[in-house]
Amino acid sequence: MKAYLGVDIGSISTKGVIIDGDNRIIANEYLWTEGNPIAAVKGVVESLQKQIAPEVQVMAVGTTGSARKLIGVVLNAQIVKNEITTHAIGTMSRVPDVRTILEIGGQDSKIILLRNGIVTDYAMNTICAAGTGSFLMSQAKRLGLAIEELGEMALQSENPTRIAARCTVFAESDLVHKAQIGHKKEDIVAGICTAVVNNYLNNVGKGKRILAPIVFQGGVSKNVGVVRAFEQILGHEIYVDEFGHLMGCLGAAVLAKNSGVEQLFDFNIQEVDFVTKGRECELCSNNCEIIYIYRNNEVLDAWGNRCERGLSA
């Protein structure tokens, strides 16, 4: 049976799926990147292989995410695409009539607007962390809670605390102040969820026309408190797919399948030694910072150069 692999390599987590010819997910994995995308991808690929039957043959690979080019070389991928494209394609494979995609990850967030199956607008926020998963994790730790507890605790609140949402520093100081003057923990947690939504809408979603059907994805979509806050503020039902955290790699796999370029994928990458090295080229005034990737001491690829001279290893 033919199948297709998609990998999404982010700064916080690395995700992977294998789909069949009908875009159904037959294997999936989610691991922490931990600053080592190559090791994380090896772990994801190893796990995916264990989940599929021996007769399944992966015939194409797609990569996306912040390390998509690096991992595209490692996996010999047919498709290397940005997150906007892959999230849109992945989401439409699950919700064909989607018009707005809200995505909040570990360190960044994005909004994608679609009309008649075409991306018409998008925005990303990679500067302030107040509207992302890392902010929720730091606040959970401050409150002595596991990140998994925040959502259900937020639902227990009848009077959410107003938390400043302009930036992480203001939000944290406001949270401490509200706790010191006696606000209930569940009200503070609900206030944090609302603050995340307000920050997202005031920054990433500013000036955007948000129309239903609305799909919320990314790791933060698993927080039911944030989902409820979105529904209350936007006045629309928010759809959260069970595979919402995998939409990027799902889209990459779909694009790999649709590329029409097939080559049997070799899962045996655990024993291959991949190394990256960076250097500054001094052959001209550009001083290009070039990244080389080696496989068993042989140069596979390099990028960052503005001319051919910089490619000499």
Asked whether residue 153 falls in the same domain as residue 204, the answer is yes
118 and 68 within one domain: no
Give the per-residue pLDDT at 237. Answer: 96
In this prediction the pTM is 0.82
Asked if 78 and 161 sit in the same domain, the reply is no
Same domain for 114 and 222: yes
Report yes or no on 19 lying in a domain: yes
- Give the pLDDT score at 130: 59
Asked whether residue 34 falls in the same domain as residue 163, the answer is no
Q: Please tell me whether residues 86 and 154 are part of one structural domain.
A: no
Among the three residues 214, 240, 266, which one is the final residue of a domain in this structure?
240
**Domain-located, residue 10:** yes
Same domain, 290 and 200: no
Report how many domains make up the chain: 3
HEC per residue, the chain: CEEEEEEEECCCEEEEEEECCCCCEEEEEEEECCCCHHHHHHHHHHHHHHHCCCCCEEEEEEEEECCHHHHHHHCCCCEECCHHHHHHHHHHHHCCCCCEEEEECCCCEEEEEEECCEEEEEEEECCCCCCCHHHHHHHHHHCCCCHHHHHHHHHCCCCCCCCCCCCHHHHHHHHHHHHHCCCCHHHHHHHHHHHHHHHHHHHCCCCCCCCCCEEEECHHHHCHHHHHHHHHHHCCCEECCCCHHHHHHHHHHHHHHHCCCCCCCCCCCCCCCEEEEEEECCCCCCCCEEEEEEECCEEEEEECCCCHHHHCC
Residue stretches of the chain with pLDDT short of 70: 126-131, 165-169, 303, 310-313
- Asked if residue 266 is part of any domain, the answer here is no
- Is 44 inside any structural domain? yes
236 and 101 within one domain: yes
**Structural domain range at position 78:** 2-91+249-258
Looking at residue 66, what is its pLDDT?
Answer: 84
